[in-house]
Structure 1
Amino acid sequence: MSAQKKRNFQIEAFKHRVVVDPKYAEKTWKILEHAIHEIYNHNASGLSFEELYRNAYNMVLHKYGEKLYLGLVSTLTSHLEEIAESIGAAQGPSFLEELNRKWTDHNKALQMIRDILMYMDRTFIPSTHKTPVNELGLNLWRDKVIHSNKIRTRLQSTLLELVQRERTGEVINRGLMRNVTKMLADLGYVVYQEDFEKPFIEVSGNFYRGESQQFIACCDCGEYLKKAEKRLNEEIERVSHYLDSKTEVKITNVVEKEMIESHVQRLVHMENSGLVNMLVDDRFDDLGRMYSLFRRVSTGLTLVRDVMTSHIREAGKQLVTDPERLKDPVDFVQRLLDEKDKHDKIIITAFNNDKTFQNALNSSFEYFINLNPRSPEYISLFVDDKLRKGLKGVSEEDVETVLDKVMMLFRYLQEKDVFEKYYKQHLAKRLLSGKTVSDDAERSLIVKLKTECGYQFTSKLEGMFTDMKTSQDTMQGFYAAMGGELADGPTLVVQVLTTGSWPTQSTTTCNLPSEIQGVCEKFKNYYLGTHSGRRLSWQTNMGNADLKVTFGKGQKHELNVSTYQMCILMLFNNADQQSYKEIEQATEIPASDLKRCLQSLACAKGRNVLRKEPMSKDIGEDDVFFFNDKFTSKFYKVKIGTVVAQKESEPEKLETRQRVEEDRKPQIEAAIVRIMKARRVLDHNNIVAEVTKQLQSRFLPNPIIIKKRIESLIEREFLERDKEDRKLYRYLA
């Protein structure tokens, strides 16, 4: 089949061949004009809209569209002028009610007129570019009613007065307000802006400027913020009830500017009630209010964050430098944790867990924790306290929580290698004395440290646990090999420690009692016989012993003492009294340790298995000691602890610092060689920067030390200086 040609059809108006009555247009218009009057007079029920529509249709059809349109304009204008007079005559509260009523009537009338003139609206108006009926009705209402001399100013002042009355606590007709403001918006957003919004914003600015001055003069910071928040919420609510939604941003900006932005400095620093007082007193509600209000203004949160940071740094600085606080390391660290918990809670609860505030808190803690060079030692002592004694009645989950908090402080340390030194010493004492709360807790912390700092940081710590397990197996082998040889002698338990894994100990030996010396020699012969090429040195300062003692009247007790204390007590098997000098000569225990041991044995109430003359809390070199026959205890087993020097003494601290500095030298050199191997040629400043970057996870290397290590590497021909530029180094392959 061949494709049929498409035909374009056009429907045209039916062409009447009748001759039109010359007065037709005038008569028809009179009918329509009468109908419009009836509609405005609320008599529309008697009208035939079908007939009216046909009349309007015919007028347009017979080319009388212009007459119809002009007649409409004229009729609407006269009606609206009458309406304006009626509204203008309304007195007091009835003014807005009359306006609203007439506006509602006008809209209904306009809808009916549109229906009658629909054909004109759809054909004549578009072709002649005239204003559509509905828009025409709105424009005429605007020009003849709203902008009339008697109404415009009065309407504006009435609306503003009602808002003012509502602000001062009066109840107003919100529904009426909503209708009137919506009318203005329906007439065009520009009308709403010019006739209401702009003056509303202006008077609101003046109102809040005055009110904020009044409040700031008589309220504390918390009260002021409550009032500001209340006003802000009122304005947001006002918009939702009877203003255009676009007004919300503008009016909230006014409240923010006048009530918050203009007073941020004064509010934050307000005496006795400002930000610092809120932080100190944990006023979460006030702090949350300050955060939510201040975030609305450009520099508000920056100011809050800066003041908070300054306060935390100052308070932290006082905490870590207060000599009284430094006397108890465990309390010192607990206070740090309490401070961190306190401010974490504030940031989570009041500051919406804002990351910028959390970062500020972290940087503040890092700043003041490192002001105290003993922080690494104290944090390790805190861990030692928790893992040695355990937390009474506390679950494993709670121990984990404490360890997690400690790790948080550990992250702030710039000298993590110093912490490692102390931690290794404290862990060694816990493991060797069997006083650790649980292996699981110990290993958990090591896993956390490995996650934070890598395998190298914890490899030696893990080696310590391996040695403890190996030592158990060694002792089983020793007793199996000895058979019945040791049946009558003392029971010996030895832990064999790998030199590289455990803290370096100064070799302090003492003269062991002959009964113990014999079994020690047997173990030494057994161990060296089963392991070739090894050396054993006894660390008597790290051991302990259980002694069975018979006191006066045959009372028996089992004493748990240190190896040093055992050596002292065994002397009293052969003598009733011993002078300090005799004990020192017989045992050869270092003087500082000897005094601490004697203090524990003779001066500790309820543990004084020795007596001394003269009686005093301190040990003197002229003291004489006696076995205390009258010792009693309700327990069969009695533990006699040593008076522990919790903190290092100044000489010990210097010794540890020197060991740390020595350990750092090869690490710095290794970093320099790694960098130079990769870069081949580099200037001095860049080497210092790169080394610092590589090592900062463990410690912050001193640029002077880095320079010395570079010099050492040049002497050993790993590096050389450039012949022309002395600050440039070359790697020697």
Structure 2
Amino acid sequence: MLTLIRMENSGLVHMLCDDKYEDLGRMYNLFRRATDGLLKIREVMTSHIRESGKQLVTGPERLKDPVEFVQRLLDEKDKYDKIINMSFNSDRSFQNALNSSFEYFINLNPRSPEFISLFVDDKLRKGLKGVTEDDVEVTLDKVMMLFRYLQEKNVFEKYYKQHLAKRLLSGKTVSDDAERSLIVKLKTKCGYQFTSKLEGMFTYMKTSQDTMQGFYASHPELGDGPTLTVQVLTTGSWPTQSSVTCNLPAEMSALCEKFRSYYLGTRTGRRLSWQTNMGTADLKATFGKGQKHELNVSTYQMCVLMMFNNADRLSYKEIEQATEIPAQDLKRCLQSLALVKGRNVLRKEPMSKDVGEDDAFFVNDKFSSKLYKVKVGTVVSQKESELEKQETRQRVEEDRKPQIEAAIVRIMKSRKQLDHNNLIAEVTKQLQSRFLANPTEVKKRIESLIERDFLERDDTDIKLYRYLA
């Protein structure tokens, strides 16, 4: 049997690589007659899938494009599903071996949860040509298979919540039905607690529409000037953002204050803080030869562009001082306004690929586009930087602490007393649907609960804990 399996140009690995369905079927039917025959096929197949999967998720070249990274995993899964169905008689033991292999190598890359969320974001964004809702649904079903293999599902949740927030706020989701369909799939797999905040985001989008109708009904005089649309997001449901503010143009600042007065006047005990880094704006602009366009820009870009209503030329320092936009965001903002071909509504001197602090900017009078409405995107990296990755990881670790403590208290409340090793094992088992609990962190949470008089150690056995009612 091993001789047949290991033959160099016609053995099992060769057949798997070249999708030799009929040959694999013959091998399966032959080997099932022998004791441990199928076991030997499974062992070699598992070893091959794990090795090739490891190369798929760890090679530096493979990590450049998150969407391609996940698509390769989906293609690999489709390939072996087809082999098992067509050649191995849909054998459950082979399917289990495939699942355990995927779980092994997907979790070798700590960025897998982030990349899967980016892949979903790419598929659910509006504007993909030739993609129907049925295509999206099929793709989401496949992605859920990969999601099931993740050991750190709460890391995926953290990224998914950020990406969903951006899609909802920018109106760039392919459809609410597709978004809700994925949330239903996540709820089925992970329970209500996992998705309650995601569902809350849709609720607050609807509430915000009603709030805006009330605001304009109470301020009929605002019909002629600039208009404002505010999404009021509760910190409990939406991903927490560092409160980054900038100096809004006087016209918009006055509108924002009117909204603040209206909102706080109708609701007590609330506090509003503006998240200008998450907003967008539509500006009407007239260029050199009288050509008119409507520019769809970010709030930061709006703040920069409206300065040119009163100035022909502005230095980087002047813009930075007037808007107080954080330096990194301002440079990205100016880069997208002045250096992206076909979207360069500004020009800069000296002309170079990057924005420097000694640069000067002025309106591009020669700007033209075939479209009346022009979207000016912001230059942004798709993946997180190392610093952003560390910050996300820290937030995830902080979010895990109360979940670990809640699991410990639940277990101890029902068991009354338990030794250290069994408590660690039960906590790990209870939390494995969301993440793989670190025993060191569980131990720290036990110590914290002892300090706060939820638990106590036995007088004679320090490894035995008791629940304090």
TM over 0.5: yes
Inter-partner Cα distance in structure 2 for 1:289 and 1:362: 23
Inter-partner Cα distance in structure 1 for 2:86 and 2:356: 58
Q: CA offset at residue 389 of structure 1?
A: 3.5
Q: CA offset at residue 578 of structure 1?
A: 1.5
The partner residue of 2:452 within 710, 716, 727 is 716
SS of the residue 1:615 aligns to = coil
Aligned: 1:360 with 2:97:
yes
Q: Which amino acid aligns with 1:695?
A: L
Inter-partner Cα distance in structure 2 for 1:713 and 1:549: 61
Q: Which amino acid aligns with 1:536?
A: L
Q: CA offset at residue 294 of structure 1?
A: 1.3
> What is the match of residue 289 of structure 2?
553
> What is the match of residue 461 of structure 1?
198
Alignment check: 8 A CA contact 1:599 1:643 kept: yes
> What is the match of residue 425 of structure 2?
689
Inter-partner Cα distance in structure 1 for 2:61 and 2:351: 30
Larger Rg, first or second structure (1 or 2): 1
Q: Which amino acid aligns with 1:613?
A: E
> What is the match of residue 145 of structure 2?
408
Aligned: 1:585 with 2:314:
no
Aligned: 1:350 with 2:50:
no
Q: Which runs of 4+ in 1 moved over 3 A?
A: none
Alignment check: 8 A CA contact 1:671 1:694 kept: yes
> What is the match of residue 2 of structure 2?
265
> What is the match of residue 227 of structure 2?
491
Q: CA offset at residue 325 of structure 1?
A: 1.1
Q: Which amino acid aligns with 1:297?
A: A
Alpha-carbon displacement from aligned partner over 1:136-173 (angstroms, at most 9, x marks no partner): xxxxxxxxxxxxxxxxxxxxxxxxxxxxxxxxxxxxxx
Q: Which amino acid aligns with 1:718?
A: F
Specify whether residues 471 and 659 from structure 1 end up closer, same or farther in structure 2 by C-alpha distance, changes over 3 A only.
same
> What is the match of residue 341 of structure 1?
78
> What is the match of residue 237 of structure 2?
501
Aligned: 1:660 with 2:396:
yes
Alignment check: 8 A CA contact 1:376 1:413 kept: yes
Inter-partner Cα distance in structure 2 for 1:282 and 1:389: 36
Inter-partner Cα distance in structure 1 for 2:10 and 2:357: 60
Q: CA offset at residue 605 of structure 1?
A: 0.8
Inter-partner Cα distance in structure 2 for 1:632 and 1:401: 40
Inter-partner Cα distance in structure 2 for 1:304 and 1:616: 59
> What is the match of residue 436 of structure 1?
173
Inter-partner Cα distance in structure 2 for 1:556 and 1:391: 28
Inter-partner Cα distance in structure 1 for 2:286 and 2:354: 27
Inter-partner Cα distance in structure 2 for 1:595 and 1:322: 32
Specify whether residues 693 and 287 from structure 1 end up closer, same or farther in structure 2 by C-alpha distance, changes over 3 A only.
same
Q: Which runs of 5+ in 2 are unaligned?
A: none
Aligned: 1:321 with 2:58:
yes
Q: Which amino acid aligns with 1:652?
A: E
Q: Which amino acid aligns with 1:644?
A: V
Alignment check: 8 A CA contact 1:414 1:700 kept: yes
Q: Which amino acid aligns with 1:610?
A: L
Specify whether residues 710 and 522 from structure 1 end up closer, same or farther in structure 2 by C-alpha distance, changes over 3 A only.
same
Q: Which amino acid aligns with 1:336?
A: L
Tell me which moved more, 436-445 or 286-295: 286-295
Inter-partner Cα distance in structure 1 for 2:354 and 2:86: 52
The partner residue of 1:620 within 347, 350, 356 is 356
Alignment check: 8 A CA contact 1:347 1:357 kept: yes
The partner residue of 1:574 within 299, 310, 313 is 310
Q: Which amino acid aligns with 1:526?
A: Y
Alignment check: 8 A CA contact 1:417 1:660 kept: yes
Inter-partner Cα distance in structure 2 for 1:536 and 1:463: 18
Paired residues for 1:66-145 under 5 Å: none
Aligned: 1:385 with 2:136:
no
The partner residue of 2:276 within 531, 540, 546 is 540
SS of the residue 1:630 aligns to = coil
> What is the match of residue 635 of structure 1?
371
Inter-partner Cα distance in structure 2 for 1:679 and 1:487: 65
Inter-partner Cα distance in structure 1 for 2:97 and 2:432: 20
> What is the match of residue 249 of structure 1?
none
Inter-partner Cα distance in structure 2 for 1:372 and 1:621: 38
Q: Which amino acid aligns with 1:697?
A: S
Q: Which amino acid aligns with 1:678?
A: S
With CA pairs under 8 Å and 6+ residues apart, which has the higher RCO, 1 or 2? 2
SS of the residue 1:717 aligns to = coil
Q: Which amino acid aligns with 1:606?
A: G
> What is the match of residue 399 of structure 1?
136
Alpha-carbon displacement from aligned partner over 1:311-359 (angstroms, at most 9, x marks no partner): 1111111111111111111110111111101111111111111111100
Alignment check: 8 A CA contact 1:549 1:558 kept: yes
Q: CA offset at residue 620 of structure 1?
A: 1.7
Specify whether residues 386 and 620 from structure 1 end up closer, same or farther in structure 2 by C-alpha distance, changes over 3 A only.
same
SS of the residue 1:494 aligns to = coil
Inter-partner Cα distance in structure 1 for 2:234 and 2:372: 36
Inter-partner Cα distance in structure 2 for 1:438 and 1:467: 17
Q: Which amino acid aligns with 2:228?
A: L
Q: CA offset at residue 397 of structure 1?
A: 2.0
Aligned: 1:369 with 2:106:
yes
Aligned: 1:670 with 2:375:
no
Q: CA offset at residue 421 of structure 1?
A: 0.4
SS of the residue 1:389 aligns to = coil
Q: CA offset at residue 287 of structure 1?
A: 1.1
Inter-partner Cα distance in structure 1 for 2:36 and 2:127: 47
Q: Which amino acid aligns with 1:583?
A: I
Q: Which amino acid aligns with 1:362?
A: N
Inter-partner Cα distance in structure 1 for 2:28 and 2:322: 71
Inter-partner Cα distance in structure 1 for 2:222 and 2:125: 32
SS of the residue 2:209 aligns to = helix
Q: CA offset at residue 696 of structure 1?
A: 0.2
Specify whether residues 673 and 728 from structure 1 end up closer, same or farther in structure 2 by C-alpha distance, changes over 3 A only.
same
Q: CA offset at residue 391 of structure 1?
A: 4.5
Inter-partner Cα distance in structure 1 for 2:114 and 2:188: 21
> What is the match of residue 645 of structure 1?
381
Q: Which amino acid aligns with 1:482?
A: H
Alignment check: 8 A CA contact 1:391 1:399 kept: no
Q: Which runs of 5+ in 1 are unaligned?
A: 1-263
Q: CA offset at residue 390 of structure 1?
A: 5.5
Inter-partner Cα distance in structure 2 for 1:681 and 1:464: 40
Alpha-carbon displacement from aligned partner over 1:539-593 (angstroms, at most 9, x marks no partner): 0000000000100011100000000110111111111122222111111111221
Inter-partner Cα distance in structure 1 for 2:202 and 2:336: 30
Alignment check: 8 A CA contact 1:607 1:640 kept: yes
Q: Which amino acid aligns with 1:666?
A: P
Q: CA offset at residue 497 of structure 1?
A: 0.6
Alpha-carbon displacement from aligned partner over 1:333-389 (angstroms, at most 9, x marks no partner): 111111101111111111111111100000010001111111111100000000013
Q: CA offset at residue 394 of structure 1?
A: 2.9
> What is the match of residue 421 of structure 1?
158
Alignment check: 8 A CA contact 1:379 1:406 kept: yes
> What is the match of residue 40 of structure 2?
303
Inter-partner Cα distance in structure 1 for 2:185 and 2:406: 26
Alpha-carbon displacement from aligned partner over 1:51-97 (angstroms, at most 9, x marks no partner): xxxxxxxxxxxxxxxxxxxxxxxxxxxxxxxxxxxxxxxxxxxxxxx
RMSD in angstroms over aligned alpha carbons?
1.0
Specify whether residues 390 and 689 from structure 1 end up closer, same or farther in structure 2 by C-alpha distance, changes over 3 A only.
farther
How high is the TM-score relative to the length of structure 1?
A: 0.63
> What is the match of residue 43 of structure 1?
none
Q: Which amino acid aligns with 2:331?
A: K
Alpha-carbon displacement from aligned partner over 1:36-57 (angstroms, at most 9, x marks no partner): xxxxxxxxxxxxxxxxxxxxxx
